[in-house]
A and B are shown apart, each in its own frame.
Chain A
Amino acid sequence: MREVAIIGVGLTKFGELWDKSFRQLITEAGTKAILDAGIKGSEIDALYVGSMSPGRFVGQEHVGALVADSSGLSVMHIPATRIESACASGGMALRHAYIAVAAGIHDIVIVGGVEKMTDVVGSEATNILAMAADQEWEAFFGVTFPALYAMIARRHMYEYGTTREQLAMVAVKNHENALLNPNAQFHRKITVEDVINSPPVATPLNLLDCSPISDGAAALVLCPLEKAREYTDKIVKIIGSGQATDSLALHGREDICTFMSTVKASREAYKQAGIQPKDVDVAEVHDCFTIAEILAIEDLGFVKKGEGGKAVEEGLTARDGEIPVNPSGGLKAKGHPVGATGVAQVAEIVLQLRGEAGKRQIPDARIGLAHNIGGSGASCTVHILEAV
Chain B
Amino acid sequence: MGGEAVSRFWREIPQRYNLIGTKCKVCNRIYFPQREVCPFCRRKSIGKMEEVKLSGRGKVITYTIIHVPPRKFEGQVPYAVAVVELEEGVRVTSQIVDCDLDKIKIGMEVEATFRRIQDDGWTGAIYYGYKFRPVEKHEDKK
- Chain A residues within 8 Å of B, Cβ to Cβ: 123-124, 126-127, 130, 134, 136-144, 146-147, 150-152, 154-155, 158, 199-205, 249-252, 256
Contact A142 B95, beta carbon cutoff 8 Å: yes
Once the chains are docked, how many angstroms separate the CA of A137 from the CA of B79?
17
Give chain B's interface residue range (CB within 8 Å of chain A): 20 to 34
- Is B29 part of the binding interface, using a Cβ–Cβ cutoff of 8 Å? no
List residues of chain B with CB within 8 A of the CB of A123.
70-71
Once the chains are docked, how many angstroms separate the CA of A136 from the CA of B118?
12
List residues of chain B with CB within 8 A of the CB of A139.
70
Across the A-B interface, give the 4 residue pairs with the lowest CB-CB distance, nearest first. Answer: A150-B64, A251-B91, A155-B62, A151-B62
Q: Mark B69-81, 1 if CB is under 8 A from A, else 0.
A: 1110100100101
- Is B68 part of the binding interface, using a Cβ–Cβ cutoff of 8 Å? yes
Contact B83 A142, beta carbon cutoff 8 Å: no
- Given known A139-B70, A158-B62, A202-B66, contact A147–B129 (CB-CB < 8 A): no
Task: Tell me, rounded to whole Å, the shortest Cβ–Cβ distance linking B102 to chain A.
Answer: 10
Once the chains are docked, how many angstroms separate the CA of A199 from the CA of B65?
13
Contact A155 B61, beta carbon cutoff 8 Å: yes
Contact A154 B106, beta carbon cutoff 8 Å: yes
Contact A151 B82, beta carbon cutoff 8 Å: yes
- Chain B residues within 8 Å of A, Cβ to Cβ: 12, 33, 61-71, 73, 76, 79, 81-83, 91-95, 106, 117-118, 127, 129, 131
Interface of B is mostly: strand
Contact B63 A126, beta carbon cutoff 8 Å: no
Task: Tell me, rounded to whole Å, the shortest Cβ–Cβ distance linking A264 to chain B.
Answer: 16
Once the chains are docked, how many angstroms separate the CA of A5 from the CA of B57?
55
Task: Tell me, rounded to whole Å, the shortest Cβ–Cβ distance linking A330 to chain B.
Answer: 21
Interface of A is mostly: helix
Chain B residue at minimum C-beta to C-beta distance from A133: B93
Contact B83 A202, beta carbon cutoff 8 Å: no
Chain B residue at minimum C-beta to C-beta distance from A136: B12
Contact B93 A141, beta carbon cutoff 8 Å: yes
Contact B93 A158, beta carbon cutoff 8 Å: no
Task: Tell me, rounded to whole Å, the shortest Cβ–Cβ distance linking B142 to chain A.
Answer: 37
Chain B residue at minimum C-beta to C-beta distance from A206: B67
Given contacts A146-B68, A203-B64, 16 further A-B contacts (CB under 8 A): A127-B70, A137-B92, A142-B66, A143-B81, A143-B93, A144-B70, A151-B64, A151-B83, A154-B106, A158-B106, A199-B67, A203-B65, A203-B67, A250-B83, A251-B61, A256-B61
Picked from B67, B79, B81, the residue with its CB within 8 Å of the CB of A200 is B67
